[in-house]
Amino acid sequence: MSPTVLDLRDVVFRRGGNEILHGVDLTVRAGEHWALLGPNGAGKSTMLGFCSAQVHPTSGTVDVLGRRLGRVELQELRRHIGHVNPRHPLQSGLSVHEVVLTGITGTIELPMRWTPSAEEVERADALIDEVGLGARRDARWPSLSQGERGRALIARALTAQPELLLLDEPTTGLDVAAREQLLTVLDRLAHTAPEVASVLVTHHLEELPTTTTHALLLAHGRVVVAGPVAEAVTTEAITRTFEHPIEVDRDGGRWRARALPPARLHSA
């Protein structure tokens, strides 16, 4: 059995007197690719905060890469986690190459007086090629399209050779072509980095890579269902999660969702 990368047990989280998560469990093993699905406000981003060692639970336990939150030096742990956030707060005009190198330092800007090794430069360039940005290596961040930024951030997350990759709605703001390019990159990762586990947050089934292995459906801070993707992403489970009759099917490994008339739902 593959080693456990994430283990959340009976996790409760309260903020400002409100309980946002209610006894959530999640176990992710090396090489698995999980999707966290649910409507806005379900608690998906809060769960990702635990996975990224940014947020501590109010009660319950969170083990990330075998280390328990509350008993570990967080900065060191975060170096082993790649995080793709489409709202990356870079303000300067770094090049694609420089942005990818910041994945090694875990910073937004390149640190002063830091020089990457030849091996680190080579790894960054290889990842830039892998995500299809070789011709844009020297392009500046402000000139990049949203899709190019998304692919650059994936390369940035991978350059530190993480054991866990987190993707927070990575296709936000992308047009159809850019979304498909980014999903192609994610699908390739299952083959180029087979040992890396990933957790992707979305509320759109169409944004799931074909290589997604598992899914957790979350509603009102509670787990509706969790398990292998074909067992978790069903018409009945999606309907319960989003509280609307939704029919789910799969074609060529990609998921589709559409409104299901109530009469059909009751006869299913």
Task: Please tell me the predicted confidence (pLDDT) of residue 87.
Answer: 86
Per-residue pLDDT band for 2 (boundaries 50, 70, 90) equals confident
Q: How far is CA 145 from CA 152, 174, 177, 246, in A?
A: 10, 9, 12, 33
Q: Which amino acid is at 181?
A: Q
Residue-wise pLDDT tens digits, 81-108: 999 988 899 989 999 999 999 999 888 9
Per-residue pLDDT band for 262 (boundaries 50, 70, 90) equals low
Contact 27, 34 (CB under 8 A): no
Q: What six digits make up the tokens of 62?
A: 């969170």
pLDDT greater than 80 at residue 265? no
Q: Where are the domains of the chain?
A: 92-161
More confident residue, 1 or 211: 211
- DSSP string for residues in 51-112: HTTS---SEEEEEETTEETTSS-HHHHHTTEEEE-TT----S--BHHHHHHHHHHT-SSPPT
Task: Please tell me the predicted confidence (pLDDT) of residue 72.
Answer: 85
The distance between the two most distant Cα atoms of the chain, rounded to a whole number of Å, is 67
How far apart (Å, rounded) are the C-alpha atoms in residues 57 and 64? Answer: 13
Task: Please tell me the predicted confidence (pLDDT) of residue 263.
Answer: 58
Task: Please tell me the predicted confidence (pLDDT) of residue 156.
Answer: 94
Task: Please tell me the predicted confidence (pLDDT) of residue 196.
Answer: 94
Task: Please tell me the predicted confidence (pLDDT) of residue 252.
Answer: 87
Task: Please tell me the predicted confidence (pLDDT) of residue 27.
Answer: 97
Residue-wise pLDDT tens digits, 9-53: 999 999 988 999 999 999 999 999 999 999 999 999 999 999 999
Residue-wise pLDDT tens digits, 145-191: 999 999 999 999 999 899 999 999 988 888 899 889 989 999 998 88
Per-residue pLDDT band for 240 (boundaries 50, 70, 90) equals very high
pLDDT greater than 70 at residue 216? yes
| Whole-number average pLDDT of the chain | 92
